[in-house]
Chain A
C-alpha cells in the first residue's frame, strides 16, 4: 500500500513541473469556456431548459471545464506507447499490480489537476458569471462523485490502452472513443437537454458517470444517491474488466512473447 501512496505522490510531482504548460492550458481552458458559454446562454437566455437557467448553465460550463482535466475525458497514450515499444514487459515483471500502480499515479495527477485545473476555471466562472454554489452538505458528496468519476475514466482509459496488446495500432479505437465521450459525457450540452426518448440511453453509458454525474451532484439536481450508485456501478465494472483484460494480456505477453 505504501508503494502506491508513493506512486500517487510521484504522479502529483511529475505534473507539477510543467508550469509554462499549465499557464497555457489555463488560457485555453478559459477561451473554450467562454465559447461554450456563449452558445448555451444564447439558448437558455430565452428561458430555462430542463431546469438549467443562466446561473446553472454557467456553473455547468465552468465546472465542466475544470473537471475535464481532472478526470481526463480524452484518452491517454502512456501505456499504449509502452506496449508498442515493448517496455511494458518491465512494468509487468515489477512486484506490483500494474493496473493499481497506474491508478495510483493517475490519482496523484488528478490531485494536482484539482489544484491547477479545477479551481481556476471555477473561480473564473464564479467571479464573472452568475454561479450556483451547492449547500455545504453537498461538498463531501461532490468530492466522492469526482473520485468515482476519476475511477470510471481511469478504468475506461486503461481498457482503451490495453487494446494495444492485441491491435498494433489503436489510434482508430482511440479516436472513436474521443468522439463518443465528447457527445455522451455531457461536455457539449447538459445531458438533460437531450430529447426525452434519448435520456435513458445517454444515462446508461459509463460516459455519463465521468462528467455529467458529478456536475449534477454539484448542481443538486435531485438526490445525489442515484448518481453515486450509477458511478460506483460503472467504476466496479470497468476496473474489474480492466483487471481481467490485463490478466489475459499478461498471459499473451508471457506465453507468446508479446
Chain B
C-alpha cells in the first residue's frame, strides 16, 4: 500500500522530467558520456603504464565498472538530496513534514534523477566488458558477487549521501563538505585502494566504507589476495556493510530532522 504511493510519486517525476523530452534525453546521453569519459581516462593512463597500484587495466576497469554502476544507482535514488539546502531555505521541507509520510522517502521519491539511467547503462556495459576480459573462475559464488556487489555498493553510496547531506540541517553551507564525501567516495572507489596513501585510505575505505563497494568484492571475484593484507572474507561482506551503513544513515537522518524540528531553520 505504502509502496504504491512511492511508485506514484516516482511516476509523477518521470512525467514531469519528460516534459522537456529533448533535454531529458540529452541529459541521459551526457551522463553516459561522463561515465565513459572516466573510463577513457583510465585507458589513457594505462596507455602509459602497465599497472596502477599493482593492478592491471582489466582489473582496474572491473573495479571502476562496479563502482560506477553502484554510484549511478545511488545518484538516481539519493542524488536529489543535494537539493536539501534549497528545500530547507525555501520552506519546501516543511511541506514534506505536513504529509503523512516519512521525509527521507518523500525526498528520494519526489525527485528521482531518471537521467542517471544513462550513467547506469554505461556502467553496466563496462561491467559486462570487464567481466569478459578478466580471468574469473565462474561459480555460484562469483555470480552472486557480480549481482550483490553493485547492489550493496548502491546502498552504501546512498547511505553516504543521506548521512553526509544530513549535515546540511546543522551547517548552512554543508553542501560542499557533503559533496566531498559523496563525490569523493566515487572518485576513491573507482580505483584500487592501493593507489591511495594511508590517510585517504583510512577515511574513504573505512570511515566511509568505500572499499566495500568495489575493491574487496573485485578482489574476491578475481581471487586475488589483498595487497594491503586484509583477510579474504572482506570481499563477501559488502551486503552486511551496506545494511549497517543504511542503519547508520537512517539514524543520522532521524537525528537531523529531529534537530531541525527542535530548533527550526
Taking the complex as a whole, does A directly touch B, i.e. does some CB pair lie under 8 Å apart?
yes
> Are the CB atoms of A21 and B176 closer together than 8 Å?
yes
Known: A34-B200, A43-B52, A168-B20. A24 touches B176 (CB 8 A): yes
Give the residues in chain B near A176, CB-CB below 8 Å: 26, 29-30, 33
Select from chain B the residue with minimum beta-carbon distance to A50.
Answer: B48
Q: In this assembly, does B98 line the interface, its C-beta being within 8 Å of a C-beta of chain A?
A: no
Q: Kindly specify which of A134-142, A188-196, A248-256 makes contact with the partner chain.
A: A188-196
Q: Are A175 and B177 in contact (CB under 8 A)?
A: no
Least CB distance from B217 to A in Å reads: 20
Taking CB as reference atom, which chain B residue is nearest A175? Answer: B30
In the assembled complex, the CB of B42 is this many whole angstroms from the nearest CB of chain A, namely 9
B61 → chain A, closest Cβ, in Å?
A: 14
A172-B24, A188-B37 given as contacts; is B47 within 8 A of A24 (CB)? no
> Given the complex, which residues of A lie within 8 Å of B20, measured CB to CB?
168-169, 171-172
Q: Which of B41, B51, B204 contacts A189 (CB 8 A)?
A: B41
Instruction: List the A side residues contacting B204 at CB < 8 Å.
Output: 35
CA A191 to CA B104, docked complex, whole Å: 42
List residues 136-185 of chain B with CB under 8 A from any CB of chain A.
Answer: 171-177, 179-180, 183-184
Is A143's CB within 8 Å of the partner chain B? no
Q: Contact check: which of B24, B47, B49 meets A195 at CB < 8 Å? A: B47
Kindly state the separation between the CA atoms of A31 and B188 in the bound complex, as whole angstroms. 11
B45 and A43 contact, CB distance less than 8 A: yes
Residues of A near B179 (CB, < 8 A) are: 28
Q: By the criterion CB–CB under 8 Å, are B53 and A31 in contact?
A: no
Interface size on B, residues (CB 8 A): 44
Docked-complex contact B177 and A172, CB < 8 angstroms: no
For A188, the chain B residues whose CB sits under 8 A away are: 37-38, 41
B193 → A minimal CB distance (Å): 10
**Interface SS majority for chain A:** helix
CB pair B44–A193 under 8 Å, yes or no, is yes
Contact between A39 and B195, CB atoms less than 8 A apart: yes
Q: Does B34 contact A (CB under 8 A)?
A: yes
Query: Are A49 and B48 closer than 8 Å at their CB atoms?
Result: yes
The CA of A35 and the CA of B187, in the complex, are separated in Å by 7
Q: Does A3 lie at the interface of the complex (its beta carbon under 8 Å from any beta carbon of B)?
A: no
- Known contacts A31-B180, A178-B30, A39 near B191 by CB under 8 Å: yes
Nearest-neighbor residue (CB-CB) of B47 within chain A = A195
Identify the closest chain A residue to B196 (Cβ).
A38
A193's closest neighbor in chain B, by CB?
B44
Measured CB to CB, the closest approach of chain B to A137, in angstroms, equals 31
User: Are A175 and B37 CB-contacts (below 8 A) given A27-B177, A38-B195, A38-B196?
Assistant: no
Can you list the 10 inter-chain pairs with the closest CB atoms, starting with the nearest?
A172-B26, A175-B30, A172-B23, A169-B20, A183-B37, A169-B23, A24-B176, A176-B30, A179-B34, A179-B33
| Given A38-B197, A189-B45, 19 more pairs with CB closer than 8 A | A20-B173, A24-B175, A27-B177, A28-B179, A28-B180, A32-B180, A32-B187, A35-B188, A38-B191, A38-B196, A43-B45, A50-B48, A169-B20, A171-B27, A172-B26, A175-B31, A178-B30, A179-B30, A179-B34
A residues lining the B interface (CB < 8 Å): 18, 20-21, 24-25, 27-28, 31-32, 34-36, 38-39, 42-43, 46, 49-50, 167-173, 175-176, 178-180, 182-183, 188-189, 193-195
B residues at A contact (CB < 8 Å): 20, 22-27, 29-31, 33-34, 37-38, 40-41, 44-45, 47-49, 51-53, 115, 171-177, 179-180, 183-184, 187-188, 191, 195-197, 200, 204
